Amino acid sequence: MVTYKTYVVKAGDTLSLIARDVVGKISDWRRIAEANAIQAPYTIRPGQSILIPVDSPLTIPITRGVALDVPRPALNIGLIVLAVVAGLILLGTRRNAR
């Protein structure tokens, strides 16, 4: 399912730079153009709001400091659970080896 984020164009932005910085893939500039019915990519203007198609709930921006779509506590809990499960597996293999 495709969801959309709103992005406000800044001076010097191009669809390629927006795709790279917000989505993480320069090649997604065409998807952004299609989502906004932009015929000529060079026609975007500062202050213009555009929709950014996002495929997954987790997008990690590259440079512009846009916040993660997944709340940080959810990411932290996931990492903690992963570490605990890995620790339990290691403990189990140690006990079985004795």
Closest CA to 28 of 38, 36, 18, 13: 18
pTM of the model: 0.55
CATH of domain 1-56: 3.10.350.10
By residue count, the chain amounts to: 98
Q: What is the pLDDT of residues 20-40, one digit of tens each?
A: 998 888 999 999 999 999 998
Q: Calculate Rg over the CA atoms of the chain.
A: 20
Residue 65 sits at the vertex; the CA angle it makes with 18 and 52, to the nearest 5 degrees, is: 35
Domain ranges for the chain, please list them: 1-56, 67-98
Q: What is the pLDDT of residues 78-90, one digit of tens each?
A: 667 777 777 777 7
| Residue type for position 54 | V
- The Cα 35–Cα 21 span in angstroms is 17
- The Cα 80–Cα 76 span in angstroms is 6
